[in-house]
Structure 1
Amino acid sequence: MSSAPLTRNFCIIAHVDHGKTTLSDRLLEYTSTITKRVMTDQHLDSMDLEKERGITIKMHPVVMNYPAKDGKIYKLHLTDTPGHVDFAYEVSRSLAAVEGALLLIDAAQGVEAQTVANAHLAYAQGLKIIPVINKIDLPSANLELCMKQLEDILTIPAEEAILASGKSGIGIQDILEAVVERIPPPRWTDYATLRALVFDSKYDSYRGVISYIRVFSGTLKAGEMMMLMSTGQKAEVKEVGVFRPGMEKIGHLGPGDVGYIVSNIKSTDEIKIGDTVTHANKAATDMLPGYKEVRPMVYCGLYPLESDDYEKLKVALGKLRLNDSALIYSSESSIALGFGFRCGFLGLLHMEVVQERIRREYDVEIISTYPSVVYKVKKHSGDVIEVDNPINLPDPGSIFDISEPTINASIHLPNEFLGDIMGLIMEKRGSCDQTTTLDGARVMLSCTLPLNEILVDFNDRLKSITRGYGSMDYELGEYRVSDLVRMDILVNQDPVDAFASIVHRSKAEGQGRALCEKLADIIPPQMFKIAVQAAIGGKIIARDNVREMRKDVTSKCYGGDISRKRKLLDKQKEGKKKMKLIGKVSIPPDAFIQVLKTNS
């Protein structure tokens, strides 16, 4: 109990690529948590995918001991968090388990869109924020601008900022001293019984479910019976421990501690992120404030390439769902692709990461259908239904109107690209509500855009137009009625359900033509001419033809009368006409993959 006043819990929050994980490395080195011999770059990024892409996907807790200038040894619990907007829910979960946050700002780039968003998240949780201006050793560092933005945009006094460099280790001691002095000791420690927040969990094939917890009050040790307050489920605690940064077994977890518990819970869906753990025999009466339920924004179908892998895919999704509460899935089937799952994600990067993890960690090859969002369909009868799959859209005659989700985006960009970005927003059916000048060189646009329009290539185009200097943060806005239609793709007059999509009527023709061209290219040549068409209801809006194979039936005619050759060609034509009546086109699986991979 006495160790709580000398404990500090904090996390690092920042925009993408502002140096959170590199700074974590220096903190681990400075406190001798990890020796130089075993130290690697981005040490806390344990996933191969994180190291390859250079991004943090999962938050990573670690405990460090720090002998401060006042002569006392403090126990510091650090959580490294992701910066990408798709993983904002990971940030909100780590903020609920700490009392303070280091807010990193890149000295060369200044305050970016996610810097603002993460700062607001931390303020909303009542955390103490310590601003750190990182990468001050860069030749392009502009400290004066960063200080001005800190005061103007985030309303944080400039004198509170600490100057540091995660790469060369400048200012690391100043940061640790600020953590000890400015961040308050653990809160709610005087509650009478055990209360611990489950902020993450993972599945281990040998030990079952391992839950990451932050203890607020009471102590927990192996052999005790615990209870999950949301479901009332009881389980025996087998082991407790902390992260240094690997798992290290200890005797007990006390107030303010961040660690893990291994219990006899074996199924992934029995433990909920944000739940409160308490003792079974002396239960707490009030739950800790958890998290608001995460709502997926993007849906797509995932199907195994080999139909025998369906069960493997089901197990993989179950295990990923355990420590990724934003992923949801339910089973569905498609005529073209067989049995699979309809999955919901927070955004496109989140979708890519989940698909890549399924391929790598569970060795299942998958096909994904075109991403879609949740539409609200109002019928003439007054009923309102939610549709996340174009196949489930009711008959057009029964629809009164269709509403689509919008986002409220804030886009930070240099002044000279303003016109081009305004053009991109208009092209994506968006509107610009407000323009704020941040300083002499940068502006912030507040825009409203349909979520469906930013799904595929908006972020890439924003980056390429602004040469990498533009950044965007967004939150879900309201639903807005729009002129939306379902576009079907027909191959040889048969609709292919995997390619169905809901599009705005004004864009249907362009998208239909592009998809038909691509499909006609990818489907291998057939024995007879095949039409690939895009249709809205009964109206064909675009068409292309698959190449037909030509057998040289006239090869045995050399010389002689032309009518002999014509007779053979006419005979072939008759045969092809007959085949057309009975022919079915089989589209190879790799054609689906290629079309669905290239997001036109």
Structure 2
Amino acid sequence: MYMRLRPLAATNLLFNSGAKSSSKQLFRGANSSRRLYVTRAPENNKRGEIDISSYPPERIRNFSIIAHIDHGKSTLADRLLEHTGVITKSGKNKQVLDKLKVERERGITVKAQSASMFYEHKGDQYLMNLIDTPGHVDFSYEVSRSLAACQGTILLVDAAQGIQAQTVANFYLAFGEGLEVIPMLNKVDLPTAEPERAAQQIESAFEIESDKILHISAKTGLGVDQVLPAVIEKTPPPLGSVDKPFKALLFDTWYDTYVGVVCLMAIKDGSIKRGDRIVSSHSGTKYEVAEVGIMHPEQTPTTLLQVGQVGYIVCNMKSIAEAHVGDTFYKDRHPVEPLPGFVPAKSMVFAGVFPIDAGEFDSLNESIQKLTLNDSSVSVHKETSAALGQGWRLGFLGTLHMDVFRQRLEEEYDANVLITSPTVPYQIKFTDGTIKFIQTPADFPDTHTLQDFVESTMEPYVSATILFPEKYLGCMLELCTTHRGEIHNHTYIDETRVMLKCELPMAEIVTDFYDKLKSKSQGFASFDYEESGYKTSDLVKMEVLLNGEAVDALAAVMHKSMVVTAGRDIAKRLKEVIRRQLFDIIIQTSANGKIVARETVKQLRKNVTAKCYGGDITRKMKLLNRQKEGKKRMKKIGKVELPQEAFLSIMTKSQS
């Protein structure tokens, strides 16, 4: 018996779950004129649920794609979705899994996305769960969480560019997780491609034999038909048993206006279906499962989820605070040992976020909560500024992470926010042995405390890896040393490319270091870093004074050697953006109780002597003195209004 079913979003081609007992139901794709067939569970036809119960762990493969920025991860994901019939083949499929507006505008992946595919190999039907991951170092936490749900990963390398800094970082991240790494060279059809040289780099850096590397072109589809067979043969199936009590790892979440929190889970043991009651190991809260399903590539309900599979669960979780990434879920009255979870993300860049309109505080608070549910690597603490009012101190993994978060707030939630200059967390060691973490310049000790009670001040350092052509070696060495870097070594990965290892203060790379790196190398250098601990440093707090009053939102902590240059630069920038008043505005920057720079915004002055045509000079002096006294009184009670451009000008450093 045939019946018409409602089309599933973005599900356009044939797939077969392999369930012999299921009946085939007629289905028309949402964007296709062809008649297509989908295998569904007969007892749930009205709900449109797919039956995937016939896929044991031996016929499931969970894998991800990792690579450097712009090496073709999202393009390869598009071709695999086309190859397995999840989406129709057309020239318009670009970044299908990059669902955020900011990802499409910037052309980068900032959020890991999963998609399930059905694929036949040597007569057997396989369920392939693909996770497309970001490439930039600022989103490495997304990569690490995604790898926890996989058993293998495709390491994609651009045949024209070769190994880049984040290629190395991502390889060791996957290797450390114990995943099977499948190397592939992409863009081999480009005129500038050098697949032999790139293969030698992979063999030299990762000790992978060059004859085991697949050569593909994700854009044209060349060799893509070999990708999934390679994944099936080289990636081990997930471990676990369907007979054991249900156990699942929560590795991603997002908020839906209609159903609340949606949880993306990797099923480690047992099975789960609609109507079951599950319990959070973290909070002990019980939930009733309203829907389970897979991303195909949109949310597609299934009859159940079982061991080895990756899918979403809707369980009427209404409160954002209830979702904890890394949590273990089990069935009610069947407790299990919690999974290790994830190491919490350590914020490396902090910035204050304030609403431009104080009346939007509550709506912005709700928007930040929903967005941090989708990006659990952001830390949130409320703070109050005398200049900007109530706001939040947010912690990010890097400056790009901060900028993307701001853009998502503005585009997805229509928020109008002001973000202060980024700072890094410092450490203060007191003479009594206690250590205090400093996340805001306002918490930094004053001059008296520094002299009498502080033993040392410390700042975070990072271990950096820079890859670039040999001819830029001198420029890269100079760039690192001028940013207080310590060169460890440099090695040649082939005849023309150099890998430089060095240590840099984190504060140096959160501003304009990356821009200078690209500028001095004409765009050929790549950069990656990881935290390497704290080192003693001569730190001071620089304050900005307007008519003698400190503006806490413009204060900054920096190395002593940078105070004079930075102080003069900030004073000049503020002079350009602060509007003239009816009194003089004195702009000063100070450190350790000493003024290091001063600028003056001249007052607006009325020509009070214009009505005097000749006559005694004493009459003109009387008018001028009266005006002078009025200016003094106005200066005492007048307040300097700081426009938004003043804060933005401090954030944006001039390009060198």
The question of a shared fold, defined as TM-score above 0.5 by the shorter chain, is answered with yes
Q: Structure 1: which amino acid aligns with 2:82?
A: E
Match of 1:45 in 2: 98
Q: Structure 2: which amino acid aligns with 1:63?
A: S
Q: Structure 2: which amino acid aligns with 1:242?
A: I
- Determine if the alignment matches structure 1 residue 590 to structure 2 residue 647: no
Match of 1:121 in 2: 173
- Determine if the alignment matches structure 1 residue 99 to structure 2 residue 121: no
C-alpha deviation, 1:192, in angstroms: 1.8
- Determine if the alignment matches structure 1 residue 244 to structure 2 residue 296: yes
Match of 1:505 in 2: 560
Match of 2:516 in 1: 461
- Determine if the alignment matches structure 1 residue 200 to structure 2 residue 255: no
Match of 1:375 in 2: 426
Q: Structure 1: which amino acid aligns with 2:117?
A: M
Match of 2:123 in 1: 71
Match of 1:293 in 2: 344
In the TM superposition, 1:533-548 aligns within 5 A as 533-548=588-603
Match of 2:539 among 484, 493, 499: 484
C-alpha deviation, 1:451, in angstroms: 0.4
Please list the CA deviations of residues 276-320 of structure 1 after superposition, one character each: whole Å capped at 9, or x if unmatched: 221112222x22332111111111110000001111111111111
C-alpha deviation, 1:568, in angstroms: 4.0
In 2: Cα distance, 1:245 partner to 1:39 partner: 16
Secondary structure of 1:153's aligned partner: helix
- Determine if the alignment matches structure 1 residue 329 to structure 2 residue 384: no
Secondary structure of 2:279's aligned partner: strand
Match of 2:400 in 1: 349
**CA contact 1:297–1:345 (8 Å) conserved in 2:** yes
Q: Structure 1: which amino acid aligns with 2:161?
A: Q
Match of 2:12 in 1: none
Q: Structure 2: which amino acid aligns with 1:142?
A: E
Match of 1:529 in 2: 584
In 1: Cα distance, 2:280 partner to 2:91 partner: 37
Please list the CA deviations of residues 81-120 of structure 1 after superposition, one character each: whole Å capped at 9, or x if unmatched: 0000000010011111011101000011001111111111
In 2: Cα distance, 1:111 partner to 1:559 partner: 82
- Determine if the alignment matches structure 1 residue 89 to structure 2 residue 141: yes
In the TM superposition, 1:196-235 aligns within 5 A as 196-235=248-287
Match of 2:164 in 1: 112
Match of 2:109 in 1: 56
In 2: Cα distance, 1:106 partner to 1:176 partner: 19
- Determine if the alignment matches structure 1 residue 130 to structure 2 residue 182: yes
Match of 2:41 in 1: none
In 2: Cα distance, 1:588 partner to 1:558 partner: 40
C-alpha deviation, 1:338, in angstroms: 0.5
C-alpha deviation, 1:566, in angstroms: 5.6
- Determine if the alignment matches structure 1 residue 320 to structure 2 residue 375: no
In 1: Cα distance, 2:394 partner to 2:424 partner: 11
**CA contact 1:410–1:447 (8 Å) conserved in 2:** yes
Please list the CA deviations of residues 553-588 of structure 1 after superposition, one character each: whole Å capped at 9, or x if unmatched: 2333456777765654444334323433x2433223
**CA contact 1:374–1:404 (8 Å) conserved in 2:** yes
**CA distance 1:560–1:167, shift in 2 (3 Å):** farther
In 2: Cα distance, 1:533 partner to 1:280 partner: 64
Match of 2:390 in 1: 339
In 2: Cα distance, 1:373 partner to 1:172 partner: 43
- Determine if the alignment matches structure 1 residue 271 to structure 2 residue 271: no
Task: State the TM-score, normalized to the length of structure 2.
Answer: 0.88
Q: Structure 1: which amino acid aligns with 2:404?
A: V
C-alpha deviation, 1:176, in angstroms: 1.3
Secondary structure of 1:429's aligned partner: coil
**CA distance 1:589–1:424, shift in 2 (3 Å):** same
Match of 1:447 in 2: 502
**CA contact 1:524–1:547 (8 Å) conserved in 2:** no
- Determine if the alignment matches structure 1 residue 24 to structure 2 residue 77: yes
C-alpha deviation, 1:417, in angstroms: 1.2
**CA contact 1:368–1:596 (8 Å) conserved in 2:** no
**CA distance 1:44–1:428, shift in 2 (3 Å):** same
Match of 2:410 in 1: 359
C-alpha deviation, 1:592, in angstroms: 3.7
Secondary structure of 2:445's aligned partner: coil
C-alpha deviation, 1:265, in angstroms: 1.5
Q: Structure 1: which amino acid aligns with 2:112?
A: M
- Determine if the alignment matches structure 1 residue 418 to structure 2 residue 470: no
Q: Structure 1: which amino acid aligns with 2:381?
A: S
C-alpha deviation, 1:233, in angstroms: 2.2
Match of 1:303 in 2: 354
In 2: Cα distance, 1:293 partner to 1:155 partner: 31
Residue identity over aligned pairs, in percent, reads 43
Match of 1:387 among 420, 438, 443: 438
**CA contact 1:298–1:374 (8 Å) conserved in 2:** yes
**CA contact 2:544–2:550 (8 Å) conserved in 1:** yes
Match of 2:58 in 1: 5
- Determine if the alignment matches structure 1 residue 188 to structure 2 residue 188: no
**CA contact 1:491–1:585 (8 Å) conserved in 2:** no
Match of 2:573 among 507, 512, 518: 518
In 2: Cα distance, 1:191 partner to 1:561 partner: 108
Moved runs in structure 1, 4+ residues, more than 6 A? Answer: 559-563
In 2: Cα distance, 1:191 partner to 1:341 partner: 47
In 1: Cα distance, 2:127 partner to 2:133 partner: 19
Please list the CA deviations of residues 219-268 of structure 1 after superposition, one character each: whole Å capped at 9, or x if unmatched: 10010011122332221111001111010111100111111000022111
In 2: Cα distance, 1:368 partner to 1:111 partner: 35
C-alpha deviation, 1:395, in angstroms: 2.9
- Which deviates more, 32-41 or 261-270? 32-41
C-alpha deviation, 1:387, in angstroms: 0.8
- Determine if the alignment matches structure 1 residue 257 to structure 2 residue 312: no
Say how many residue pairs are matched. Answer: 597
Q: Structure 1: which amino acid aligns with 2:399?
A: L
C-alpha deviation, 1:170, in angstroms: 0.6
In 2: Cα distance, 1:338 partner to 1:411 partner: 41
**CA distance 1:593–1:542, shift in 2 (3 Å):** closer
- Which deviates more, 150-159 or 391-400? 391-400
Q: Structure 1: which amino acid aligns with 2:568?
A: R
Please list the CA deviations of residues 511-538 of structure 1 after superposition, one character each: whole Å capped at 9, or x if unmatched: 0110011111111012122210001132
In the TM superposition, 1:558-573 aligns within 5 A as 568-573=623-628
In 1: Cα distance, 2:155 partner to 2:557 partner: 40
In 1: Cα distance, 2:91 partner to 2:214 partner: 28
Match of 1:166 among 218, 221, 236: 218
**CA contact 1:6–1:74 (8 Å) conserved in 2:** yes
- Which deviates more, 1-10 or 341-350? 1-10
- Which deviates more, 374-383 or 123-132? 374-383
Alpha-carbon RMSD across the aligned residues, in angstroms, is: 1.7
Task: State the TM-score, normalized to the length of structure 1.
Answer: 0.96
**CA contact 1:189–1:217 (8 Å) conserved in 2:** yes
In 2: Cα distance, 1:146 partner to 1:73 partner: 34
- Which deviates more, 495-504 or 222-231? 222-231
- Which deviates more, 244-253 or 179-188? 179-188
In 1: Cα distance, 2:605 partner to 2:194 partner: 66
